[in-house]
Copies of this chain bind each other. A is one copy, B any other.
Amino acid sequence: MSKTIEFFFDYASPYSYLASAQVEALAARTGAELRWRPFLLGAVFKATSNQSPVTNPAKARYLFKDLLDWTRMLGLPDFRMPEPFPANALQVNRLGLVAAEQGLIAPFSHAAYRAAFAEGKNLADPAVLAEVARTAGLEPAPALARIENQEIKDALKRNTEEAVARGAFGAPTFFVGEDMYFGNDRLPLVERRLRAA
């Protein structure tokens, strides 16, 4: 049986961004298949009575410094906090699923995360979405039209509900089989699990 990493994430989640920059290399090193699974973090928080760290003042003060440290350690551009934060990510998460239909979710994800967290752009802005789509190799107009399709809306809802049912309470969340791992900082545990598989 082949090994799979399921990567549940939201484009508004900066820790998912950090993970997105590492998961492909991790999958390659371990011979695992990578599945990019966008979900709606706000709905996950609501379903699990969890909250974004920005809702706590002390955690919010630490957040930017922590993210800047991580981007520097990972060799990414210095972290930028987009305005507003967190962005309304409903449209961009749906657009990720449109990209997935065309086999382009990896380049789309990198383009979206770079726009948000390296360039500080607002992923709820249709002009930013169009630019991200174009960068990823999607034709912007039909891709943006497609996010209104019921299949796409349902697929995002399904990913979200499935993640919650399997135990997720935040983002990023990884599954290897039914072994769940929460957080960018658990990638070493994910790797250990894949090497043991």
A180's partner among B48, B65, B188, B192 (CB-CB below 8 A) is B65
Chain A contact residues (Cβ within 8 angstroms of B): what range? 20 to 34
Contact flags A177-197 to B (C-beta < 8 A → 1, else 0): 001111101101100110000
Question: Does A2 have its Cβ within 8 Å of any Cβ on chain B?
Answer: no
Question: Does A169 have its Cβ within 8 Å of any Cβ on chain B?
Answer: yes
**Contact, CB under 8 Å: B62 / A182:** yes
**Contact, CB under 8 Å: B56 / A189:** no
A contact face: mostly helix, strand, loop, or mixed: helix
A185's partner among B179, B183, B192 (CB-CB below 8 A) is B183
B residues less than 8 Å from A73 (CB atoms): 188-189, 192
List residues of A (39-71) whose CB comes within 8 Å of B's CBs.
48-50, 56-59, 61-62, 65-66, 69-70
Question: Does A86 have its Cβ within 8 Å of any Cβ on chain B?
Answer: no
Given A73-B188, A185-B183, check contact A58 B48 (CB 8 Å). Answer: yes
**Contact, CB under 8 Å: B66 / A186:** yes
A58's partner among B169, B179, B181 (CB-CB below 8 A) is B169
Minimal Cβ-Cβ distance residue in B for A185: B185
A179 CA to B68 CA, complexed, in Å = 12
A182 CA to B66 CA, complexed, in Å = 9
Minimal Cβ-Cβ distance residue in B for A47: B58
B residues less than 8 Å from A62 (CB atoms): 167, 169, 180, 182
5 pairs, A vs B, C-beta closer than 8 Å = A48-B56, A62-B167, A62-B182, A69-B186, A69-B193
| A interface with B by C-beta (< 8 Å) | 48-50, 56-59, 61-62, 65-66, 69-70, 72-73, 167-169, 179-183, 185-186, 188-189, 192-193
